[in-house]
Protein backbone atom coordinates (compact mmCIF):
# COMPACT_ATOMS: atom_id res chain seq x y z
CA UNK A 1 0.00 0.00 0.00
CA UNK A 2 2.81 2.40 0.95
CA UNK A 3 4.58 1.66 -2.32
CA UNK A 4 1.39 2.44 -4.25
CA UNK A 5 0.99 5.78 -2.48
CA UNK A 6 4.63 6.65 -3.06
CA UNK A 7 4.26 5.68 -6.70
CA UNK A 8 1.27 7.97 -7.14
CA UNK A 9 3.10 10.83 -5.44
CA UNK A 10 6.17 10.25 -7.61
CA UNK A 11 4.08 10.31 -10.76
CA UNK A 12 2.35 13.49 -9.61
CA UNK A 13 5.65 15.20 -8.80
CA UNK A 14 7.13 14.14 -12.12
CA UNK A 15 4.11 15.52 -13.97
CA UNK A 16 4.30 18.79 -12.03
CA UNK A 17 7.99 19.18 -12.77
CA UNK A 18 7.43 18.35 -16.40
CA UNK A 19 4.63 20.88 -16.57
CA UNK A 20 6.77 23.50 -14.89
CA UNK A 21 9.63 22.74 -17.24
CA UNK A 22 7.32 23.04 -20.22
CA UNK A 23 6.04 26.39 -18.94
CA UNK A 24 9.58 27.66 -18.34
CA UNK A 25 10.68 26.53 -21.79
CA UNK A 26 7.66 28.19 -23.35
CA UNK A 27 8.44 31.40 -21.47
CA UNK A 28 12.06 31.30 -22.58
CA UNK A 29 11.09 30.68 -26.19
CA UNK A 30 8.55 33.50 -26.08
CA UNK A 31 11.35 35.77 -24.95
CA UNK A 32 13.71 34.72 -27.72
CA UNK A 33 14.74 37.38 -30.19
CA UNK A 34 14.74 37.35 -33.95
CA UNK A 35 18.33 37.06 -35.13
CA UNK A 36 17.80 39.54 -37.98
CA UNK A 37 15.78 42.30 -36.30
CA UNK A 38 16.83 41.64 -32.67
CA UNK A 39 13.14 42.10 -31.79
CA UNK A 40 11.22 39.72 -29.52
CA UNK A 41 9.63 37.02 -31.65
CA UNK A 42 6.21 38.05 -30.41
CA UNK A 43 6.79 41.64 -31.58
CA UNK A 44 8.41 44.86 -30.42
CA UNK A 45 7.12 46.32 -27.17
CA UNK A 46 7.27 49.90 -28.52
CA UNK A 47 8.70 51.80 -31.47
CA UNK A 48 10.62 54.97 -32.24
CA UNK A 49 10.94 56.43 -35.72
CA UNK A 50 13.65 59.00 -36.46
CA UNK A 51 13.00 60.57 -39.85
CA UNK A 52 15.73 62.82 -41.23
CA UNK A 53 14.72 65.10 -44.08
CA UNK A 54 17.70 65.43 -46.39
CA UNK A 55 16.00 67.07 -49.33
CA UNK A 56 18.19 70.08 -48.47
CA UNK A 57 21.83 69.79 -47.36
CA UNK A 58 22.67 69.28 -43.70
CA UNK A 59 25.38 71.51 -42.26
CA UNK A 60 28.22 69.87 -40.27
CA UNK A 61 26.60 71.06 -37.03
CA UNK A 62 23.25 69.56 -38.06
CA UNK A 63 24.97 66.29 -38.98
CA UNK A 64 26.64 66.10 -35.55
CA UNK A 65 23.35 66.84 -33.82
CA UNK A 66 21.56 64.13 -35.84
CA UNK A 67 24.30 61.60 -35.03
CA UNK A 68 24.18 62.40 -31.31
CA UNK A 69 20.38 62.31 -31.32
CA UNK A 70 20.39 58.84 -32.87
CA UNK A 71 23.00 57.62 -30.38
CA UNK A 72 20.99 59.00 -27.46
CA UNK A 73 17.81 57.31 -28.65
CA UNK A 74 19.71 54.05 -29.19
CA UNK A 75 21.03 54.15 -25.62
CA UNK A 76 17.66 55.17 -24.13
CA UNK A 77 15.62 52.50 -25.93
CA UNK A 78 13.97 50.01 -23.61
CA UNK A 79 14.50 46.29 -24.03
CA UNK A 80 12.31 45.15 -26.92
CA UNK A 81 11.86 48.68 -28.27
CA UNK A 82 12.24 49.06 -32.03
CA UNK A 83 14.30 51.98 -33.30
CA UNK A 84 14.17 52.84 -37.00
CA UNK A 85 16.26 55.59 -38.58
CA UNK A 86 15.12 56.64 -42.04
CA UNK A 87 16.27 59.36 -44.43
CA UNK A 88 14.24 61.22 -47.03
CA UNK A 89 16.61 61.98 -49.89
CA UNK A 90 16.92 62.15 -53.65
CA UNK A 91 18.77 59.54 -55.62
CA UNK A 92 18.97 58.64 -59.30
CA UNK A 93 15.34 57.49 -59.40
CA UNK A 94 13.87 60.47 -57.55
CA UNK A 95 13.04 61.24 -53.94
CA UNK A 96 12.95 58.14 -51.78
CA UNK A 97 12.80 57.04 -48.15
CA UNK A 98 15.86 55.01 -47.19
CA UNK A 99 16.40 52.97 -44.03
CA UNK A 100 19.75 53.45 -42.30
CA UNK A 101 19.05 51.04 -39.45
CA UNK A 102 15.99 49.27 -38.04
CA UNK A 103 16.58 47.11 -34.96
CA UNK A 104 15.19 46.38 -31.52
CA UNK A 105 17.20 46.81 -28.36
CA UNK A 106 17.76 43.17 -27.28
CA UNK A 107 18.74 44.20 -23.75
CA UNK A 108 21.72 42.94 -21.81
CA UNK A 109 19.65 40.00 -20.55
CA UNK A 110 19.55 38.07 -23.84
CA UNK A 111 18.83 34.42 -23.04
CA UNK A 112 22.14 32.53 -22.73
CA UNK A 113 20.46 29.20 -23.64
CA UNK A 114 19.59 30.44 -27.11
CA UNK A 115 21.76 33.51 -27.76
CA UNK A 116 25.19 35.02 -27.15
CA UNK A 117 24.26 38.10 -25.06
CA UNK A 118 27.52 40.04 -25.49
CA UNK A 119 27.63 39.48 -29.23
CA UNK A 120 24.00 40.52 -29.68
CA UNK A 121 24.36 43.67 -27.57
CA UNK A 122 27.54 44.62 -29.46
CA UNK A 123 25.75 44.13 -32.76
CA UNK A 124 22.95 46.44 -31.64
CA UNK A 125 25.37 49.14 -30.47
CA UNK A 126 27.62 48.96 -33.54
CA UNK A 127 24.77 48.93 -36.05
CA UNK A 128 24.11 52.59 -35.30
CA UNK A 129 27.72 53.75 -35.66
CA UNK A 130 29.38 53.30 -39.04
CA UNK A 131 26.22 53.25 -41.24
CA UNK A 132 24.87 56.40 -39.60
CA UNK A 133 28.24 58.20 -39.72
CA UNK A 134 28.73 57.38 -43.42
CA UNK A 135 25.18 58.28 -44.36
CA UNK A 136 25.20 61.62 -42.55
CA UNK A 137 28.55 62.57 -44.10
CA UNK A 138 27.16 61.78 -47.55
CA UNK A 139 24.02 63.79 -46.86
CA UNK A 140 26.09 66.89 -46.24
CA UNK A 141 27.67 66.65 -49.68
CA UNK A 142 24.44 66.36 -51.65
CA UNK A 143 22.55 69.25 -53.23
CA UNK A 144 18.93 70.28 -53.03
CA UNK A 145 16.27 67.77 -54.04
CA UNK A 146 13.56 68.55 -56.56
CA UNK A 147 10.80 67.73 -54.07
CA UNK A 148 10.20 67.34 -50.32
CA UNK A 149 7.33 64.87 -49.76
CA UNK A 150 7.66 64.96 -45.96
CA UNK A 151 4.07 63.93 -45.17
CA UNK A 152 4.26 60.93 -47.49
CA UNK A 153 7.61 59.90 -46.00
CA UNK A 154 6.16 60.18 -42.51
CA UNK A 155 3.24 57.96 -43.46
CA UNK A 156 5.47 55.36 -45.13
CA UNK A 157 7.88 55.35 -42.18
CA UNK A 158 5.10 54.74 -39.65
CA UNK A 159 3.47 52.12 -41.88
CA UNK A 160 6.75 50.24 -42.19
CA UNK A 161 7.10 49.95 -38.42
CA UNK A 162 4.00 47.76 -38.19
CA UNK A 163 3.74 48.87 -34.56
CA UNK A 164 1.30 47.23 -32.16
CA UNK A 165 -1.96 49.19 -31.92
CA UNK A 166 -1.54 49.52 -28.15
CA UNK A 167 2.23 49.93 -28.19
CA UNK A 168 3.83 53.33 -27.53
CA UNK A 169 5.04 55.11 -30.67
CA UNK A 170 7.50 58.00 -30.70
CA UNK A 171 8.31 59.99 -33.84
CA UNK A 172 11.20 62.42 -34.20
CA UNK A 173 11.26 64.53 -37.36
CA UNK A 174 14.53 66.28 -38.20
CA UNK A 175 13.40 68.63 -40.93
CA UNK A 176 12.75 72.17 -42.09
CA UNK A 177 9.12 71.03 -42.55
CA UNK A 178 9.07 72.75 -45.97
CA UNK A 179 6.79 70.30 -47.77
CA UNK A 180 7.15 70.71 -51.52
CA UNK A 181 5.40 68.87 -54.31
CA UNK A 182 2.62 69.11 -56.88
CA UNK A 183 -0.41 70.86 -55.41
CA UNK A 184 1.15 71.65 -52.03
CA UNK A 185 4.29 73.66 -51.50
CA UNK A 186 5.61 75.71 -48.61
CA UNK A 187 7.44 77.85 -51.14
CA UNK A 188 4.41 79.22 -52.97
CA UNK A 189 1.83 79.36 -50.17
CA UNK A 190 -0.25 76.35 -51.25
CA UNK A 191 0.58 74.24 -48.21
CA UNK A 192 -2.47 73.62 -45.98
CA UNK A 193 -3.40 71.09 -43.27
CA UNK A 194 -5.87 69.48 -45.69
CA UNK A 195 -3.20 69.15 -48.37
CA UNK A 196 -0.85 67.54 -45.85
CA UNK A 197 -3.61 65.22 -44.61
CA UNK A 198 -4.32 64.00 -48.13
CA UNK A 199 -0.74 62.74 -48.31
CA UNK A 200 -1.09 60.53 -45.23
CA UNK A 201 -2.09 56.90 -45.59
CA UNK A 202 -5.45 56.24 -43.96
CA UNK A 203 -4.10 53.15 -42.18
CA UNK A 204 -1.44 55.13 -40.29
CA UNK A 205 -3.78 57.80 -38.92
CA UNK A 206 -4.66 55.82 -35.75
CA UNK A 207 -0.96 55.35 -34.98
CA UNK A 208 -0.21 59.01 -35.65
CA UNK A 209 -3.08 60.12 -33.45
CA UNK A 210 -1.54 58.28 -30.48
CA UNK A 211 2.12 59.01 -31.25
CA UNK A 212 4.38 61.33 -29.30
CA UNK A 213 5.65 63.73 -31.96
CA UNK A 214 8.84 65.79 -31.79
CA UNK A 215 9.99 68.17 -34.52
CA UNK A 216 13.66 69.14 -34.60
CA UNK A 217 13.38 72.20 -36.80
CA UNK A 218 16.17 72.99 -39.27
CA UNK A 219 15.99 76.76 -39.81
CA UNK A 220 15.70 78.44 -43.20
CA UNK A 221 16.41 82.10 -42.36
CA UNK A 222 16.02 83.28 -45.95
CA UNK A 223 12.57 81.70 -46.07
CA UNK A 224 11.49 82.55 -42.53
CA UNK A 225 7.95 83.63 -43.48
CA UNK A 226 7.31 80.58 -45.62
CA UNK A 227 8.71 78.29 -42.93
CA UNK A 228 6.54 79.88 -40.25
CA UNK A 229 3.48 79.38 -42.46
CA UNK A 230 4.45 75.76 -43.11
CA UNK A 231 4.84 75.11 -39.37
CA UNK A 232 1.36 76.51 -38.74
CA UNK A 233 -0.05 74.05 -41.28
CA UNK A 234 1.81 71.15 -39.69
CA UNK A 235 0.74 72.11 -36.19
CA UNK A 236 -2.91 72.28 -37.24
CA UNK A 237 -2.58 68.84 -38.85
CA UNK A 238 -1.09 67.33 -35.69
CA UNK A 239 -3.74 68.99 -33.54
CA UNK A 240 -6.49 67.56 -35.74
CA UNK A 241 -4.91 64.10 -35.59
CA UNK A 242 -4.07 63.87 -31.90
CA UNK A 243 -5.36 66.97 -30.13
CA UNK A 244 -1.76 67.78 -29.14
CA UNK A 245 0.90 70.15 -30.39
CA UNK A 246 4.15 68.44 -31.37
CA UNK A 247 7.16 69.11 -29.18
CA UNK A 248 9.21 71.71 -31.07
CA UNK A 249 13.00 71.77 -30.73
CA UNK A 250 15.10 74.51 -32.33
CA UNK A 251 18.71 73.61 -31.49
CA UNK A 252 20.12 75.51 -34.49
CA UNK A 253 18.33 78.82 -33.87
CA UNK A 254 15.02 80.02 -35.22
CA UNK A 255 14.37 80.45 -38.88
CA UNK A 256 10.60 80.54 -38.49
- Lowest-pLDDT choice from 14-23, 36-45, 102-111: 14-23
Helices (H), 49-89: 60-76
Mean of the pLDDT values across residues 87-113?
80
pLDDT of residue 225: 96
What is the Cα–Cα distance from 129 to 117, expressed in whole angstroms? Answer: 19
The Cα-based distances of 211 to 48, 163, 166 in angstroms read: 9, 11, 11
Res 109 pLDDT > 80: no
For every residue of 139-206, DSSP letters joined together read HHH----S-B-HHHHHHHHHHHHT--TTS-EEEEEEE----EETTEETTTT---HHHHHHTS-GGGHH
Residue 199: pLDDT band with limits 50, 70, 90: very high
Res 207 pLDDT > 60: yes
What are φ and ψ of residue 191, in 5° steps? -85, 120
Res 20 pLDDT > 60: no
- pTM of the predicted protein model: 0.82
- Lowest-pLDDT choice from 13-27, 63-77, 93-107: 13-27
The Cα-based distances of 67 to 12, 50, 150, 242 in angstroms read: 59, 11, 20, 29
Mean of the pLDDT values across residues 119-148?
79
Mean of the pLDDT values across residues 61-77?
92
Res 24 pLDDT > 80: no
Classify 73 in phi/psi space as left (phi over 0), alpha (psi -120 to 50) or beta.
alpha
Res 94 pLDDT > 90: no
Res 16 pLDDT > 50: no
CB 196 within 8 A of CB 238: no
Alpha carbons within 13 angstroms on the beta-carbon side of residue 240 total: 13
What is the Cα–Cα distance from 197 to 234, expressed in whole angstroms? Answer: 9
pLDDT of residue 87: 94
For residue 109, count CB atoms less than 10 angstroms from its CB and return exposed for 0-12, middle for 13-18, buried for 19 or more: exposed
Mean pLDDT, rounded, of the chain: 82
Res 17 pLDDT > 80: no
Mean of the pLDDT values across residues 227-240?
96
pLDDT of residue 135: 80
* Count of helices and strands (H, E) across the chain: 8, 8
The 10 Å Cβ neighbour count of residue 53 is 25
Bridge partners, residue 139, by sequence? none
pLDDT of residue 218: 96
Amino acid sequence: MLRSVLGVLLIACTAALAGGGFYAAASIKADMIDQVTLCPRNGATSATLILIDRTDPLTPIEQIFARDLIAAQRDAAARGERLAVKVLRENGSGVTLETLVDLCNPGAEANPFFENPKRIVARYDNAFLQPVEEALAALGREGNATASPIAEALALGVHGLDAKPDGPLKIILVSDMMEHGPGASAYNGTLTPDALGERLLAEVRPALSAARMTVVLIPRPRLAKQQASAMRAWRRLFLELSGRDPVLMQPFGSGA
